[in-house]
């Protein structure tokens, strides 16, 4: 079971991202947004996701990086292909993962949501270890933030339709919900 203390998962590898700010004073965490990411796309080796979320990416390393040059983004959590959990932003802070977004007629999902990245692509299958870690993380988050309901566990594509397609067609929601 994953354990959270002071907005940090004790079992997560901690990497501090500078890409966050404070949530609005009246914001309550009541949603989880699931994303997918790999850097470069389809590559699961190395630490480029960590570098990207910490503004330390070598923009010259891959031609794809030119299209995201200078972006400052983060997520609260990343689940690697192996199931390893990495945390970049304290859960009480606003990570920069959702961009322009709407959930249940509320805009700016970063204000009230936890962003979880799964290492993968919009078309890739995700690993059993990722689903297992994700289910355990969501269970811990729902205990820590009791206003998170099943209906508020959504994909990036759900809050930014037409702009985003992750976690994608390779993510099986039924796999996740059967583990919860």
Active-site residue list: 117
Instruction: Say if residues 79 and 119 touch (Cβ distance below 8 Å).
Output: yes
Provide the 10 A C-beta neighbour count for residue 137. 23
Can you give the C-alpha Rg of the chain in angstroms? 15
Tokens of 108: 């700016």
Phi, psi of 21 (to 5 degrees): -155, -175
Max CA distance (Å), the chain: 43
- DSSP string spanning 60-100? TS-GGGGGGTT-----SEEE-TT--EEE-S-TTEEES-S-S
């Amino acid at each position: 079971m994953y354990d959270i203390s002071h907005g940090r998962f004790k079992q997560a590898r901690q990497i501090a991202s500078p890409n966050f700010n404070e949530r609005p004073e009246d914001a309550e965490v009541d949603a989880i947004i699931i994303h997918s990411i790999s850097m470069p796309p389809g590559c699961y080796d190395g630490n480029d996701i960590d570098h990207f979320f910490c503004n330390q990416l070598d923009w010259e390393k891959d031609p794809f990086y030119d299209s995201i040059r200078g972006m400052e983004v983060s997520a609260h959590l990343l689940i690697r292909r192996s199931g390893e959990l990495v945390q970049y932003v304290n859960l009480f802070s606003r990570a920069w993962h959702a961009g322009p977004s709407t959930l249940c007629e509320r805009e700016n999902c970063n204000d009230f949501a936890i962003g979880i990245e799964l290492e993968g692509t919009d078309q890739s299958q995700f690993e059993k270890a990722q689903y297992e870690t994700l289910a355990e993380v969501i269970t811990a988050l729902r205990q820590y933030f009791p206003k998170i309901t099943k209906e508020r566990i959504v994909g990036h594509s759900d809050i930014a339709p037409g702009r985003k397609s992750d976690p994608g067609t390779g993510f099986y929601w039924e796999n996740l919900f059967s583990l919860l």
